[in-house]
Structure 1
Amino acid sequence: MPTPIPTTTTTTDSGAATAPSADEFAERLFGAILGAQFVQAAYLGDRLGYYRALAGDGALTSTELATRTGTAERYAREWLEHQAVCGVLAVDDVTAEPAARRFTLPAGPAEVLTDVVSPAHVLPIARIVAGLGLHLDALVAAYRGGGGVGWGEFGADAREGQAAANRPLFLGAMPREYLPSVPDVAAALRDGGRVADIGCGRGWSAIGIALAHPGVTVDGYDVDAPSVAAARANAVEAGVADRVRFHLADAATATGRYDLVAAFECVHDMPDPVSVLATMHRLAAPDGVVLVMDENVAETFTAPGNEVEQVMYGYSITCCLPDGLSHEGSVGTGTVMRPETLRRYAVDAGFGGIEVLPIEDEFFRFYRLR
């Protein structure tokens, strides 16, 4: 996840907050501007294939990069120089003629920018943030009129970026470490249980569970057609299409019972979370487990907040809340769904309450609904 610009608000010995001076806040805002430009450059590097070319082909001149990516040399040169100035790329000879300079992507940045299954692969979040900037006019209109901007309107940057950001977790620690740490979840996965993945998106959570636990079968449900189409293709490529099925449908239409019913980072986006949780209650077998993974935000509102709180509010004001409010009658949860909010939704859906599971993750909290 991205590191927000640190707040310059400080506290006195008595605990009272002190506001930054004009110079301090100007410095903070200027740092944020540099960060925004950096994110825009990363977006270009991703979309144009620059990072992948540099990671695969070693040191390249601007002409070589442009040729490999089918782009214009003059733009490629300026982008390379920007990335070198920002310390992303190494350049062999800064005194050489511009067209003769060779640029290299070091191993550390290469992992962050191109290794799609590395936990350090933060680039998709840059794509989300930059992509959402394309919709600022629509967001301004929504803020003024009280409407929303739907997930479909945000397009491929949000849809693909979100899936890619969660992919390392969904293929790695989540199915292989986190879920098996819950005894009855581990039993269901070990004994070839049935799993329902509610709001499955592009399918990485369902695919990760199937890859880590060869005996299980998984049904994924989502109402976003492009996401479901991509999920089906991803399952085929991963070799689990015989055990993982994706349904372009509201989970309310599902039948049968499941040993594990899970919703991974999506309940806060739902316009009617109580109805969805009630469906999850209905789908769970008598001894089944209902699991929700959502944002690891603070239990109560505090200001200033930590970096997780800052980034989650950043998502909320530009994506999750506008998406939620694009639906008539939405409860408008937003990204910052605190435990008490989920507890209230769960009780209204027929559960007795929620249990925060002892799974340690910086950005996500895991709940069992009882």
Structure 2
Amino acid sequence: MSAEAAATTGSQDTEAFAERIFASVLGAMDCLTIALGDSLGLYDALAEHGPLTPARLARHAEIDERYAREWLEQQAVAGLIDVAAPSDDPDERKYGVNDAQREVLCDRSLESYLTPLTQVLAAAGAQLSALETAYRTGGGVGWAAYGPRMRRGQADANRALFLSSLPTSWLPAVPELHERLTRGTRVADIGCGDGWSSIGIASGYSASTVDGFDLDADSVAAAQENAAHHGVADRVTFRCVDAATVEDARGYGLVTAFECVHDMPDPVTVLSTMRSMAEPDGWVVGVDERVPEAFTGPGDPVEQLMYGYSVLVCLPDGMSHRPSRATGTVMRPDVLRGYAQEAGFADIEVLPIDNDVFRAYRLLKP
């Protein structure tokens, strides 16, 4: 290749990479403005009452009219909402959401509802200074430091999946486990958060009872309210406790941990406790991220997402405790296998549950 051709190729590569970074900046701005609109109830107002002028949106959402107009214009320019009634007068222009926008931005019952991810990003960005300090010192940023926005975003991101797919397709895909739950068994749900996984299991299997365990008091309080709202409070209980210290909970037919083992500073002790909590023939199931089995460099979107979580949230949270295994979000199967074997399990088995983001494991007793 000639020097001139090499220079041209280099220039093209630079331009393409610069375009990628610029697109990322626009995407980050979209995420933050979506998080803002979500927190203020702007999408819900548009979905319920729209199309709306800026003044009408301001009245429904109880915000300032000038801010309402600027947000609406930005959302329309970004292609996130529609201009339903164009006008040269910015105060008379009307905006609304189409069906696709409503489902992704507003409908909390659907797994396509992605707005919670923007709340996670906003909460992580607010801790950038603390993250810089943690990276310099080897310290961490604990889960509580990220605040209610993070807790809500994380819980809402999995809500529809746990209420819908978990009881209707995930668990029925494992016949032996499905039959056990249908007959009725006791379930221990470790790291239950706002309780959606516990509620999903109880909603799908009326003969079974579920005990949820979580360290975060605010999450446990929310879980109790959510269980009552969904009519399963008589079969679902929640305890604010470190699962690694639980000694009085035994005899469960199923013990689960949904998307939380990678966050634990001491996963081996928790997994050992889960093994002890299960009946001799009881099942122990962990669900975590569907990342490739080995690191290869440029990865697929799921692995990119999980590394983003890890850099900004999960690894700093894990390292906020000492001692810590510092796992991070990208827990590959061999890492979980190693933890499981340290905890006294013989091996792990990937369960036939189809999902683009999550992988389900059965931890096998000796």
> Given the alignment, which residue of 151, 166, 172 partners 1:159?
151
Please say if 1:292 is aligned against 2:308.
no
Please say if 1:333 is aligned against 2:327.
yes
> Given the alignment, which residue of 71, 74, 83 partners 2:75?
83
What one-letter code is carried by the residue in structure 2 that aligns with 1:339? P
- 1:246-272 deviation digits (Å, cap 9, x = unpaired): 001122324221000000000000000
Where do 1:129-148 residues align within 5 Å? 129-148=121-140
What one-letter code is carried by the residue in structure 1 that aligns with 2:81? L
Cα distance in 2 between the residues matched to 1:85 and 1:153: 34
Could you tell me which residue of structure 2 aligns to residue 175 of structure 1?
A: 167
Q: What is the aligned-residue identity percentage?
A: 53
Where do 1:265-276 residues align within 5 Å? 265-276=259-270
- 1:66-123 deviation digits (Å, cap 9, x = unpaired): 1111111001000000111111222134343011111111111011111111010011
- What is the SS of the residue equivalent to 2:344? coil
Distance 1:315 1:109, change over 3 A: same
Where do 1:309-328 residues align within 5 Å? 309-328=303-322
Q: Is the 8 A contact 1:132 1:319 kept in 2?
A: yes
Cα distance in 2 between the residues matched to 1:83 and 1:220: 39
Could you tell me which residue of structure 2 aligns to residue 302 of structure 1?
A: 296
Cα distance in 2 between the residues matched to 1:166 and 1:264: 10
Please say if 1:260 is aligned against 2:254.
yes
Cα distance in 2 between the residues matched to 1:133 and 1:290: 35
TM (norm. structure 2) is 0.95
- What is the SS of the residue equivalent to 2:127? helix
Could you tell me which residue of structure 2 aligns to residue 50 of structure 1?
A: 42
Q: Where does structure 2 lack aligned partners over 5 or more consecutive residues?
A: 1-9
Could you tell me which residue of structure 2 aligns to residue 67 of structure 1?
A: 59
Please say if 1:362 is aligned against 2:362.
no
- 1:309-358 deviation digits (Å, cap 9, x = unpaired): 10000000000000000001000000000000000000000000100112
What one-letter code is carried by the residue in structure 2 that aligns with 1:302? T
Cα distance in 1 between the residues matched to 2:204 and 2:354: 20
- What is the SS of the residue equivalent to 1:220? strand
Deviation (angstroms), 1:20: 7.5
- 1:108-163 deviation digits (Å, cap 9, x = unpaired): 10111111110100110111112211110000010011100000001111111010
Please say if 1:197 is aligned against 2:189.
yes
Q: Which moved more, 1:167-176 or 1:270-279?
A: 167-176
Cα distance in 2 between the residues matched to 1:184 and 1:335: 29
Could you tell me which residue of structure 2 aligns to residue 245 of structure 1?
A: 237
Q: Is the 8 A contact 1:132 1:157 kept in 2?
A: no
- 1:261-301 deviation digits (Å, cap 9, x = unpaired): 00000000000000000000000101110000000000000
What one-letter code is carried by the residue in structure 1 that aligns with 2:77? V
- What is the SS of the residue equivalent to 1:196? strand
Please say if 1:349 is aligned against 2:343.
yes
Cα distance in 1 between the residues matched to 2:84 and 2:177: 53
Q: Is the 8 A contact 2:43 2:106 kept in 1?
A: yes
Deviation (angstroms), 1:184: 2.2
Q: Is the 8 A contact 1:292 1:369 kept in 2?
A: yes
Cα distance in 1 between the residues matched to 2:70 and 2:61: 15
Cα distance in 2 between the residues matched to 1:273 and 1:189: 26
Aligned length: 353
Cα distance in 2 between the residues matched to 1:233 and 1:280: 26
Q: Is the 8 A contact 1:292 1:366 kept in 2?
A: yes
Cα distance in 1 between the residues matched to 2:208 and 2:190: 16
